[in-house]
């Protein structure tokens, strides 16, 4: 490549790498895999090595990624938290050994090989054995003060076993099982899933509210002494043993090696066993053990010369796609799964893996009977990379998504604009947890005390299987979940019984009908007055409702025509759950056909109270201003909505005007 083309490619790569580094380090929302990012960095490093005069100080090859997040105090690291140089082959490890020996004139060198934990690097500072401050790596020189968040991590000792002044470096992470459990719970609650355990850990630690951090299953391994007052140790290995003695949770995988060959064996051993570890890794680290030799070797602006990180390449294997079956997740998502001829990849025997959705199957052009290439994504999750089309025989079979749920038989739908096909059955056992959690939630039947973990326990103990079983629970069933749980059980029984008296609108919301939120549920309850009338409404009648589009009308109509829905409503009726609107029918519809938008701070009403009055008098509220808006009710400090109303010529009323409209 000539110099001008190199200059253009370097400029392009710097922009791409900078963007993805920001997504990874600062926003904890990566868009590409670690391997893809590493390959971009390697290409950039190679070009800069070939054309060293094109290297600039702001290149990502010359600095540590990451910035201080707004809202945190800055911490200047007494000892910089450097990153490591990455290598991707055994030959490069041998070259590292040669460089070190050359610089040290052939002195005897011992190494320590450790797992490179996939998490967020932090420094912990102790004064007289007391934990006083903790900070993220940031850009290596300046990090974020996350002391209060770190105090929520159980494996960080608040008081050491000796009264020493010490700064240590560690990696905050979330264990593999804990990560799966956390994402599963987020899926049930309808929250965005974390891309991987590293970003879950980073995002959790960098919360401005430590109460949120405390709810996340964070852990830590300590792997280095940054500074120790009165340090008399000669080697890294000695320091690790001392860190254990002080009470730290030290990186459990660290092998002492007397040669580079032993170190390479240790690296290979970690690679073979990495799938059995309880935590994620993104490589192995080789460090010179002797501290005096580290001093002689020194550091660059970004990396130490006495350590290097080996990144394991994703191992790929060919196998046969024997079948594609569909599994139903707890949200009702129907996911195609590849059943594979078992093959060992990166130390694990892989016999099945997710195919995500219908579009993924089509994009990869997968057919049952194909020879496929699989690898472990991020060294953890097996994935189908591609089809070996030249090995097709003509006997392969096309796959199509099911039209009905394979678990409960209810219709399976894929709505326009969505990638996921879903089961629509309200009593489907596969999504019982999600359905019950939503039914009991504050926006639903608001059953205080019946949260995610309690529902999960009730299902695990087979005390409930579906929504209707909530109302058959007995005191002893609930008390068995907790030690001395009688009081909790009685409070929950009371809350369950109270929920029977909820308005019809709460029940409609709790059923989780697709596209029906609490606002529309209120409209439906007000219009139809009873559950029976809503269930018997025709599709044409539903479509004619102002707030109900064709897609929503179809969703409501289809939902109430399902046998599972009819069965559930019947069970709830027999349990004494209210099926009627409790709101008095009003003959005063003075606001009928009018749409109000509320903005700014009102003095005599809350937003909810004002909205309730408008709806009681036949009007509607909206969150956005348009030409169809009748009035904008503007309180103090009204902002952009007021400006937009004025620009569109929409009538703006004050709180006094609103009161007069009500009273008159």
- Residue pointed to by tokens 């409404």: 537
Q: What is the pLDDT of residue 460?
A: 92
Distance of CA 543 to the CA centre of its chain: 37
Alpha carbon distances (Å) from 489 to 146, 437, 476, 492, 494: 38, 18, 8, 5, 9
Joined together, the tokens standing for residue 31 give 């868009």
Report residue 44's pLDDT band, with 50, 70 and 90 as the boundaries.
confident
Alpha carbon distances (Å) from 207 to 70, 76, 124, 213: 11, 20, 18, 6
d(CA 508, CA 514): 11
Predicted TM-score of the model (pTM) = 0.65
d(CA 452, CA 186): 10
Give 643's contacts (C-beta < 8 A, 6+ positions apart): none
Report residue 99's pLDDT band, with 50, 70 and 90 as the boundaries.
very high
Per-residue pLDDT, averaged over 298-309, amounts to: 91
In whole numbers, what is the pLDDT of the chain averaged over residues? 89
Report residue 66's pLDDT band, with 50, 70 and 90 as the boundaries.
low
Ranges 57-71, 170-184, 280-294, 465-479: which has the least confidence: 57-71
Q: What is the pLDDT of residue 70?
A: 59
- Greatest Cα pair distance in the chain: 97
Burial of 250 (0-12, 13-18, 19+ CB in 10 A): buried
d(CA 204, CA 213): 5
Q: Which domains does the chain have, with CATH numbers?
A: 3-62 (1.10.287.610), 74-310 (3.30.470.30), 314-424 (2.40.50.140), 443-574 (1.10.150.20), 595-663 (3.40.50.10190)
Give 53's contacts (C-beta < 8 A, 6+ positions apart): none
Per-residue pLDDT, averaged over 222-243, amounts to: 93
The model's pLDDT over 312-356, given as tens digits with 9 standing for 90+, comes to 877 788 999 999 999 998 788 999 999 999 988 766 678 999 999
The model's pLDDT over 538-592, given as tens digits with 9 standing for 90+, comes to 999 898 776 788 889 999 999 999 999 999 999 999 999 999 998 876 677 888 8
Residues taking part in catalysis: 116
């Amino acid at each position: 490549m000539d110099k001008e083309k190199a200059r253009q490619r370097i400029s392009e790569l710097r922009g791409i790498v900078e963007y993805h580094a920001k997504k990874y380090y600062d926003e904890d929302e990566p868009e590409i895999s670690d391997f893809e990012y590493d390959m971009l960095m390697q290409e950039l490093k190679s070009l800069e090595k070939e054309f060293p005069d094109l290297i600039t100080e702001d290149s990502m090859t010359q600095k540590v990624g990451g910035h201080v997040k707004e809202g945190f105090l800055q911490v200047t690291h007494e000892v910089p938290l450097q990153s490591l140089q990455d290598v991707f082959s055994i030959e490069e490890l041998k070259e590292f050994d040669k460089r070190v020996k050359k610089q040290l004139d052939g002195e005897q060198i011992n190494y320590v090989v450790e797992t490179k934990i996939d998490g967020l690097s932090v420094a912990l500072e102790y004064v007289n054995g007391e934990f006083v401050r903790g900070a993220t790596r940031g850009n290596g020189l300046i990090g974020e003060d996350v002391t209060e968040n770190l105090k929520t991590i159980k494996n960080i000792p608040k008081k050491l076993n000796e009264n020493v002044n010490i700064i240590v470096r560690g990696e905050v992470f979330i264990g593999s099982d804990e990560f799966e459990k956390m994402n599963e719970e987020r899926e049930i609650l309808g929250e965005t899933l974390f891309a991987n355990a590293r970003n879950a850990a980073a995002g959790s630690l960098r919360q401005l509210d430590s109460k949120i951090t405390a709810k996340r299953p964070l852990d830590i391994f300590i792997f280095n002494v940054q500074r120790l007052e009165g340090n008399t140790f000669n080697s890294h290995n000695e320091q690790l043993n001392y860190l254990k003695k002080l009470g730290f949770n030290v990186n459990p995988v660290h092998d002492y090696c007397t040669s580079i060959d032993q170190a390479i064996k240790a690296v290979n051993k970690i690679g073979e066993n990495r799938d059995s570890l309880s935590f994620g890794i993104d490589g192995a680290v080789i460090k010179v053990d002797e501290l005096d030799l580290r001093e002689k070797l020194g550091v660059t602006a970004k990396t130490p010369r006495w350590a290097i990180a080996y990144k394991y390449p994703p191992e790929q294997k060919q196998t046969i796609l024997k079948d594609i079956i569909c599994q139903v997740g707890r949200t009702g998502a129907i996911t195609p799964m590849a059943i594979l001829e078992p093959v060992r990849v990166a130390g694990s025997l892989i016999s099945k893996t997710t195919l995500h959705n219908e579009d993924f199957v089509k994009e990869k052009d997968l057919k049952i009977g194909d020879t496929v290439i699989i690898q472990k994504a991020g060294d953890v999750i097996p994935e189908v990379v591609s089809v070996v089309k030249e090995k097709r025989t003509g006997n392969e079979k096309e796959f199509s998504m099911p039209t009905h749920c394979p678990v409960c038989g209810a219709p399976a739908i894929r709505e326009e604009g969505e990638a996921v096909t879903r089961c629509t059955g309200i009593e489907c056992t596969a999504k019982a947890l999600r359905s019950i959690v939503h039914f009991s939630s504050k926006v639903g039947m608001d059953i205080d005390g019946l949260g995610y973990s309690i529902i999960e326990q009730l299902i695990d103990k087979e005390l409930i299987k579906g929504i209707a079983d909530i109302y058959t629970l007995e005191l002893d069933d609930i008390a068995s979940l907790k030690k001395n749980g009688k009081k909790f059980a009685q409070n929950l029984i009371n809350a369950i019984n109270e929920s029977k008296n909820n308005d019809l609108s709460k029940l409609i919301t709790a059923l989780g009908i697709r596209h029906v939120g609490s606002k529309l549920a209120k409209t439906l309850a007000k219009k139809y007055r009873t559950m029976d009338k809503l269930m018997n409404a025709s599709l044409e009648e539903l479509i004619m409702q102002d707030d109900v589009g064709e897609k929503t009308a179809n969703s409501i109509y289809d939902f109430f025509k399902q046998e599972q829905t009819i069965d559930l409503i019947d069970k709830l009726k027999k349990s004494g759950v209210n099926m009627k609107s409790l709101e008095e029918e009003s003959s005063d519809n003075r606001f009928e056909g009018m749409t109000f938008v509320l903005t700014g701070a009102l003095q005599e009403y809350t937003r909810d109270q004002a909205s309730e009055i408008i709806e009681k008098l036949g009007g509607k509220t909206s969150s956005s201003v348009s030409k169809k808006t009748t009035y904008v009710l503007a309180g103090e400090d009204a902002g952009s909505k007021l400006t937009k109303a004025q620009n569109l010529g929409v009538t703006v009323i004050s709180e006094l005007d609103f009161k007069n409209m009500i009273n008159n």
